[in-house]
Amino acid sequence: MSIRGKRILVTRADVQAEEFSAMIRKRGGIPVVFPTVTLVPPEDPAPLHEAIARLGTFDWVLFTSANAARFFFGCAAARGVRAIPAGVRVASVGPGTTREIGRHGSPVHLEAKKQTAEGLVEALAAEGFPGKRFLFPRAKEGRETIPEEIGSRGGTVDVVTVYRNGLPPADRKAAGEIGERPPDVCTFASPSAFRNFFLLLGEDRASFVLSRSRIAVIGEVTARTVRERNVPVDIMPETFTLAGMLEAIEAHFALLSRGGETS
């Protein structure tokens, strides 16, 4: 079953919203665009700058999102580093991230088969961890799976923030329309996206909208943030990608149409 006719709230940043909206339209859904985050550089860029300055000392650079790759290579280029040094290998969590890395002229030496942090660790395991140094540029908010797993297996991981989720300007007209007609599904890809939803709509209106919608999230960290507000998570894909989220939403409504129960 498709999501034809379903109104899907898109809370991703402006630079990402159109990609997700196009995917929704292709499947017959109706995107309701309301960005609740804007992507901005880290508050303190010094650790990132220092890591770029000694980029050649690492064995691997790990990317788990296209955003991380875009911000990292942009910052590196601004500091005169146009390419990953020879001998430093690059690992990607999946095709979308690999494409973004390729746009910056860097080869990807390893891509995870399963597009999760665990999948990337599994892919790297065949290369070995003991004695190796890994640079992990990521968003300010993120799971600790990669540094913890690699560290426990003898590797050293330098985690640096390359971007964070900021609060975009309030769009009162869009907020009012969403409050008057809640979407069928509200999607959130980060804890910030969910928390900012309340800041932009106001506590009462946001709570009302969420009570009238299905809640879809990407990732366990986001799911935990949602549940901390006593809001149920109706949909969470096994593959933490936009395509995975839409497939999970379709499966959810297909089950409902058959009279089944969802968890």
The 10s digit of each residue's pLDDT in 2-46 is 799 999 999 998 878 999 999 999 999 999 999 999 999 999 999
Per-residue pLDDT of the chain (263 residues; tens, 9 = 90+): 579 999 999 999 887 899 999 999 999 999 999 999 999 999 999 999 999 999 999 999 999 999 999 999 999 999 999 889 999 999 999 998 999 999 999 999 999 998 888 999 999 999 999 999 999 999 987 778 999 999 999 999 999 999 998 999 989 999 999 999 999 999 999 899 999 999 999 999 999 999 999 999 998 889 999 999 999 999 999 888 888 899 999 999 998 887 765 54
| pLDDT recorded at residue 263 | 45
What CATH architecture is 47-164? 3-Layer(aba) Sandwich (3.40)
| pLDDT recorded at residue 260 | 61
Q: Which two tokens stand for residue 63?
A: 């990317």
Query: 111 Cβ partners below 8 Å, 6+ apart?
Result: 91, 92, 93, 94, 95, 98, 123
| pLDDT recorded at residue 96 | 87
Same fold, 7-38+167-257 and 47-164: yes
* CB atoms closer than 10 angstroms to residue 19: 14
Q: Record the pTM.
A: 0.82
Q: Where are the domains of the chain?
A: 7-38+167-257, 47-164
The CATH number assigned to the domain with range 7-38+167-257 reads 3.40.50.10090
Round to whole Å and give the CA distance between 166 and 153.
Answer: 34
